[in-house]
Homo-oligomer: A and B are copies of this chain.
């Protein structure tokens, strides 16, 4: 496996061209590009440009609308439901987050449920929009069913990520951005490529037995919720995944549970949908709705310093503040560029050929 490093600008320009070829407006192409590139910058390689050809395949199958009319279909002063009109989640979710932030600016908090959307990239991107305004940001989304609830032998939930982001003072924001499964699909793919076993507790096979084979998902198996089994709290991971599903889809009017349309274009969506597209849930709260922002930031800095300075089992492995590794990646990759593995570069160049745009190199 070889890496080829590109500058942020090279990847931005390429990604923008792809979205333009799909027919996106300039504003949408720029926004969708920003979401994907920020994922690569932050070291979350599974959610960045590596997914570009997946979005294009969904668009080719007319399951993504490149020119959506995104609109609010229901609202109160601090709540709203947005219809994404089948658009890229990469543009629908930031639209919804802007509404949440406007409401928060006026009333203290704002909460937006979204239906009829698609994959929204990294949850952290959207929550961090609020942090820039000294707000607490929250974002979550449901996703294609891959996870079996505790006791189930069926995939009923997605890896349904949830993110909370908090503005700090001297330190980078605290960003808790996590799938509610024990391990997300990307980790299985790494083991598949390396042909190695995975830990017990990540997947079960088609018979519902725990397995260390990273290929079980392809053979009818399921991912397991955070907690892995009942004794270790998998009912909690299942409960969190359920919370994300209900807030994102039962509340908005999107598809939920096993009805969520698959991200991969080669699988068809269920023929008996219970809602429209996939769903998100986004929120923002003004910190100064609770206490002065400087007090909050000073105390969050103190919290961060106490946790970073904690005694550890291995003196060389400090406690990690949520969001700190991603911030470090972002600082480094802005200077040093973004490494892509050769199979991703190959895939992107095939995409370029298909769409008639300049190759990456």
Contact = CB atoms under 8 A, between A and B. Distances in A.
Interface in A108-144: 108-109, 111, 113, 136
Nearest to A199: B231
Nearest to A231: B199
Interface in A182-238: 182-183, 199, 201-202, 204, 207-209, 226-228, 231-233, 235-238
A310 B178 contact: no
Contact of A303 (B81, B164, B257): B257
A311 B153 contact: yes
Contact of A77 (B77, B80, B287): B77
A252 interface: yes
B154 A310 contact: yes
A274 interface: yes
A328 to B, nearest CB: 15
A151 interface: yes
A178 B77 CA distance: 31
A176 to B, nearest CB: 4
Given A239-B178, A290-B251, A151 B107 contact: no
A109 B300 contact: no
A295 B286 CA distance: 30
Contacts of A236: 178-180, 226
Contacts of A246: 164, 166, 174, 300, 303
A35 B238 CA distance: 26
Interface residues of A, number: 87
A24 interface: no
B108 A320 contact: no
A319 B250 CA distance: 19
A245 B199 CA distance: 30
Contact of A242 (B79, B176, B258, B317): B176
Contact of A256 (B243, B299, B319): B299
Contacts of A3: none
A253 B291 contact: yes
Nearest to A251: B290
B201 A287 contact: no
Nearest to A176: B239
A275 interface: yes
A312 B153 contact: yes
A232 B201 contact: yes
Contacts of A80: 289-290
A74 interface: yes
B313 A152 contact: yes
A287 B228 CA distance: 32
A102 interface: no
B178 A311 contact: no
B76 A108 contact: yes
A91 interface: no
Most chain B CB neighbours (cut-off 10 Å) among A108, A153, A180, A228 = A108
A352 interface: no
A295 B253 contact: yes
B290 A74 contact: yes
A314 B174 contact: no
Interface of A: 74-81, 107-109, 111, 113, 136, 149-154, 156, 164, 166, 174, 176, 178-180, 182-183, 199, 201-202, 204, 207-209, 226-228, 231-233, 235-240, 242-243, 245-247, 250-253, 256-258, 274-275, 285-287, 289-291, 295-296, 299-300, 302-303, 306-307, 310-314, 317-320, 322
